[in-house]
Amino acid sequence: MVSLAQLQAQQTLPTVDRHYRCRVNLNLYGSSALEGLVTQAATGRYLRLVSLPSETQQGTTQGALEVCLCEDDYPGWLAIADLEQLDVAESPYQAIALSEAEIRARVQGAIAFAQAAMAQPNQYLWGGTVAPNYDCSGLMQAAFVSVGIWLPRDAYQQEAFVQAIAPSELLPGDLVFFGSPTKATHVGLYLGDDCYIHSSGKDQGRNGIGIDRLSSEGDRVSQTYYAQLRGARRVVACYQPRSGSQ
């Protein structure tokens, strides 16, 4: 596999029509100033460049490039210094499609992943999608990816992607969403018996992964989220990128 560093040594610039793979876990930020972690790209993930190094950036380790992660179409800014941690992909990313029955057969694995993540020392990390520290939707994405099911990145995107169900239809492996009347801002994974697992921030009473109840009579964290409950939804498909294969 050819690395970006080798391309640059050959005086061949990276291009926006290629897919690249991450050699290590990488951080993506919300601006070219590399401020505000928005997501992480785990080792092996695919990305494509949205912009190329400017003439003043070529051969330097300063600055940032706009990129898009291929599996979930998520945009962000990557430090130019991290270009050396990318390899040219031997073939473009290709999403897989699973039937609803195949997905249901895998959801226990997603639950097991989330429970194992909770058992490790962790804290809430805005933008975190790589162990041990996750944000709420990052934990959901990582849990389902562990069994080969890709979801969109953010809670509101996940809510729009999955299938709405009635509260009476909740099954282990379904997602429960919280937030304002207009937007989902938090998500958890339903375990059964009115319990769900999620990664929660300090402002809501916890700093990391825990299990809470869908109840107005639970502890303070459960009550806080229950007051923001938007509804439940079921994963019935794998996300298919809009960006295409190139």
For the annotated catalytic residues, the residue numbers are 136, 186, 198
**Cα distance between residue 12 and residue 131, in whole Å:** 35
Q: How many CB atoms lie within 10 A of CB 130?
A: 19
For residue 51, give the amino acid letter.
S
Tokens 């169900």 correspond to what residue?
165
CB 18 within 8 A of CB 32: no
**Cα distance between residue 94 and residue 181, in whole Å:** 36
Q: Over the Cα atoms of the chain, what is R_g? A: 19
